[in-house]
Structure 1
């Protein structure tokens, strides 16, 4: 066997690794190496992720931010573990007496996925402005419930 200086030697030359470099090798176990690789690649993966129809929106200070409403979906509550209905209610169902926009609720354009999943997104009377703190702003005048609507809403509240 050839040694370092070109002379023949029967014994292989020992390669010594310092303790510091030995410790560094031990620190790079497969799990830590995988985690390090993932951490280095994750910013590239997250910046490349895109959902069609869900584009980010930027607002300037004071600019109006639209708040939209959807359907009301029944759910199982802690008090009553029985599902009474699977049919969602329109947000502006007459029995709920929710305040409506001045010119009436308008349908908002939806993606095909929203339509398939049953979303019915509509405008609302809420007026929000970016970075503007407002409290206790009335939406509409006093709402009075008749007995039939009151029973309907109370049953829905109890079921949820």
Structure 2
């Protein structure tokens, strides 16, 4: 990723990136020419980005927290003046439906925080089946999942 020609590359971990949760220092040392955000912010050209990998408990993968207070504490770390939020998972009810029972898999606590902040953009993935974008009020929500639920990379990047 560090060899891509883009001036700025911001990444977060997700549920498959176990090394970032278990060996964070090692994982960070392996990355070059990228900005990794884990409950952190970065300002680039006057735009404040905040990134976080957490999600409601999902099997036994990385960056899981039980619904409720622990997730609320993580989302309350998001600064009020954030312009662009990057999370692994979606907020509840927005681009968060899976194919198995058409269930909404997003995080209720994340939705509450996102609505408080009034972001310009909230980008996420995790729910592969609900790829796309949607404007709610003044916030553009982007489910940028490139792969299908079967890990086939068929969706185009959303830029």
**If the length of structure 1 is used for normalisation, what is the TM-score?**
0.20
Structure having the larger proportion of residues in helix: 1
Highest RCO, 1 vs 2 (Cα 8 Å, sep ≥ 6)? 1
**If the length of structure 2 is used for normalisation, what is the TM-score?**
0.20
Structure having the larger proportion of residues in strand: 2
